[in-house]
A and B are shown apart, each in its own frame.
Chain A
Amino acid sequence: MILDTFEALAMVAAIFAILILGTTHLRTNLSFYSLHTMAIAAVTAWIASITHEDHLYLVAAGVFIIKSCSIPWFLNSVIKKINVGTDGGAFIAAPLSMHLGALMLGLSFMISQQIPGLIGEADSRLGSTAAMSILFSGVLLMLTRRAAISQIVGFLVIENGIYLFAVTQTHGMPLMIEMGLLLEVLVAVMVAGLLLFNIKKSFEHIDVSQLTELKD
């Protein structure tokens, strides 16, 4: 089996998403997230060159600028301001959840064998494997981490997974929709970041497992 380049890049993105699961150090998480999104932008550009859909180049540029540069930079500055270095504690230990993520990669390979996927001339089933495994990693991240900032990263990873699935299975959505989605993600992260400040100010921690307790 000879990998097509976009499949190899999609797998690189999936592997970076799984590596995010491996550490509770928030800075490292964000830099892995940035690399992961860069790989996704590269996948988009590569698919654009295969299918000759020129608007995908613009989407790739948007993903690169907004998702892999601005959002990690913004979240990094939030981390610096609220002075939280590491996730307080995961419900599943970080190494264990990384291995779970790796097993999920195998599971999504089995699921994606059921999908008849073709993009241009190339078989896109490895692309959908990568997309599903990214989705699973994001879900694991949101389920097992306590710090609110990890929840944001988990949300972003899930969003990337859905986006990658759409891009590898179809020829990408229309430009307006993609741009709207990018803007929406940016706004969501901004709002969540501002919310983090307020949570930190009123509770003095960002542990989501304790947010259910009522305070007077």
Chain B
Amino acid sequence: MTSINTDAILETLVFIAIFLLLPPLLVGIIRKTKARFQNRIGAPLLQPYFDLLKLLSKGETISKHTSWIFRSTAAINVSLLIILAFLAPWTSLRPFNLGADLFLVIYLLALTRFFTVLSALDAGSAFGGFGASREVTLALLVEPAVILCLAAIGSVSQTSDLGVAFSFNNIALANQPGLWFIAGCGLFLASLVELSRMPADDPTTHLELTMVHEAMILENSAANLALVEYAHFLKILILLGISSQCLLHAIPFFWHTTELILVFSSLVSIMILAASIAIIESVAVKLRWTKLPEFIAYSVAMSIFCVFIALSKNLN
């Protein structure tokens, strides 16, 4: 009995350590890969941790026109995303079975976006306003893709609990590599837009005309900015984690392997996806704002394919 307990405690500690420490490393991987692509040596892999620590020790400046919303948003977002990290199936290591309903996961993500937009509007700067308007437009276009992909998986597995659907022992989903692969691709394309990465938004520039995410957090500083950045890193971890889990489920090998290999390969696949984001950012250009719906249409089309596969599966 005691050995089971220590196992569970160890698993929990490893899980918490992973989701607290991995997100900045992912961003470090993205930046390092981009730097290598541009023939630079680049900042060390651990630079995002140093940045966060430095931001925490700086003095904060808050505009006197802001209200409590602006000051509390970063903390709300980080706590919402920590809840999501416990709920969403972003890795196969899940010590808590909390019953992650797919709509709960999607709308918790939407709630973090809602608070980010509110705080951008609260600061009252022009950039915050247009950043918020762009973010909401993009969210409107991307949301159907995410919902349809996850709902198709849910309808094949006959449950809306993502924890059950992603658990590698659901027989209904065992022989569906096509569904998993297309859902993984659709979710990956959608998360590129949700995370304001390259085809939608260039995270490295501060050019007023083009930025989306950066425009919304212009007013944040010091510890507040550190929390905002950390929330964004956590979002990267969760979204990339969900799409990498979809892709892992497409490979039959992972259905018959041990727990340890699964955990290890899910972490590695998240890092591979982060590196592939960097590769996409190095070879692709940022799309013009009016061209973006064409890019998002690809992810929506993938989700429609998922729905058809789920339909044909359910009809038979």
Q: B7 to chain A: which residues have CB within 8 Å?
A: none
Q: Does A140 contact B (CB under 8 A)?
A: no
The reply to whether A22 and B294 contact each other, CB–CB distance below 8 Å, is yes
Q: A19 to chain B: which residues have CB within 8 Å?
A: 298, 301
Q: Does B308 contact A (CB under 8 A)?
A: yes
Quick one: CB contact mask for A1-41 with B, threshold 8 Å, 1 for yes?
11100001001000100110011000000000000000000
The reply to whether A99 and B178 contact each other, CB–CB distance below 8 Å, is no
The reply to whether A15 and B294 contact each other, CB–CB distance below 8 Å, is no
Which size bracket describes the interface of A in this complex? 20 to 34
Q: B304 to chain A: which residues have CB within 8 Å?
A: 99, 102-103
Q: A18 to chain B: which residues have CB within 8 Å?
A: 301
A-B contact pairs, 28 of them (CB 8 A): A1-B312, A1-B313, A3-B175, A8-B178, A11-B178, A15-B182, A15-B305, A18-B301, A19-B298, A22-B294, A22-B297, A22-B298, A94-B297, A95-B293, A95-B294, A95-B300, A98-B297, A99-B297, A99-B300, A99-B301, A101-B301, A102-B301, A102-B304, A102-B305, A102-B308, A105-B308, A109-B308, A109-B312
Identity of the chain A residue whose Cβ is nearest the Cβ of B292 in the assembled complex = A95
A98–B304 CA distance with the chains assembled, in angstroms: 11
A15–B305 CA distance with the chains assembled, in angstroms: 8
The reply to whether A3 and B178 contact each other, CB–CB distance below 8 Å, is yes
Q: Does A89 contact B (CB under 8 A)?
A: no
Quick one: CB contact mask for B280-316 with A, threshold 8 Å, 1 for yes?
0000000000000110111011001100100111001
A106–B297 CA distance with the chains assembled, in angstroms: 17
A96–B293 CA distance with the chains assembled, in angstroms: 10
Q: A94 to chain B: which residues have CB within 8 Å?
A: 294, 297
Q: A1 to chain B: which residues have CB within 8 Å?
A: 312-313, 316
Q: CB within 8 Å of B: which of A37-64?
A: none
Q: CB within 8 Å of B: which of A63-116?
A: 94-96, 98-99, 101-103, 105-106, 109
A136–B293 CA distance with the chains assembled, in angstroms: 23
Q: B175 to chain A: which residues have CB within 8 Å?
A: 2-3
Nearest CB on A from B307, distance (A): 9
Identity of the chain A residue whose Cβ is nearest the Cβ of B174 in the assembled complex = A2
A102–B144 CA distance with the chains assembled, in angstroms: 15
Closest 9 CB pairs of A and B: A95-B297, A102-B304, A2-B175, A1-B316, A95-B294, A98-B301, A102-B301, A98-B297, A106-B308
Q: B316 to chain A: which residues have CB within 8 Å?
A: 1
The reply to whether A23 and B301 contact each other, CB–CB distance below 8 Å, is no
Nearest CB on A from B193, distance (A): 13
Of B182, B297, B316, chain A has the most CB atoms within 10 Å of the CB of: B297
A103–B177 CA distance with the chains assembled, in angstroms: 22
A96–B298 CA distance with the chains assembled, in angstroms: 10
Nearest CB on B from A27, distance (A): 14
The reply to whether A105 and B305 contact each other, CB–CB distance below 8 Å, is yes
Q: B312 to chain A: which residues have CB within 8 Å?
A: 1, 109
Quick one: CB contact mask for B176-190 with A, threshold 8 Å, 1 for yes?
011000100000000
A11–B176 CA distance with the chains assembled, in angstroms: 13
Q: A95 to chain B: which residues have CB within 8 Å?
A: 293-294, 296-297, 300
Q: CB within 8 Å of B: which of A110-129?
A: none
Q: A109 to chain B: which residues have CB within 8 Å?
A: 308, 312
Nearest CB on A from B152, distance (A): 13
The reply to whether A23 and B308 contact each other, CB–CB distance below 8 Å, is no
Query: B298 touches which one: A2, A3, A98 (CB < 8 A)?
Result: A98
A8–B250 CA distance with the chains assembled, in angstroms: 13
A94–B298 CA distance with the chains assembled, in angstroms: 10
Q: A103 to chain B: which residues have CB within 8 Å?
A: 304
Nearest CB on B from A189, distance (A): 27
Nearest CB on B from A126, distance (A): 8
A109–B308 CA distance with the chains assembled, in angstroms: 9
Nearest CB on B from A4, distance (A): 12
A102–B307 CA distance with the chains assembled, in angstroms: 10
A99–B304 CA distance with the chains assembled, in angstroms: 8
Known: A11-B178, A102-B305, A105-B305. 20 other contacts (CB 8 A): A1-B312, A1-B313, A2-B175, A15-B305, A18-B301, A19-B301, A22-B294, A22-B301, A94-B294, A94-B297, A95-B294, A95-B297, A96-B297, A98-B298, A99-B304, A101-B301, A102-B304, A102-B308, A105-B308, A106-B311
A15–B185 CA distance with the chains assembled, in angstroms: 13
Identity of the chain B residue whose Cβ is nearest the Cβ of A8 in the assembled complex = B178
Q: CB within 8 Å of A: which of B144-191?
A: 175, 177-178, 182
Nearest CB on A from B290, distance (A): 11
Q: CB within 8 Å of A: which of B55-113?
A: none
Q: CB within 8 Å of A: which of B174-219?
A: 175, 177-178, 182
Q: B297 to chain A: which residues have CB within 8 Å?
A: 22, 94-96, 98-99
A205–B240 CA distance with the chains assembled, in angstroms: 44
Nearest CB on B from A175, distance (A): 32
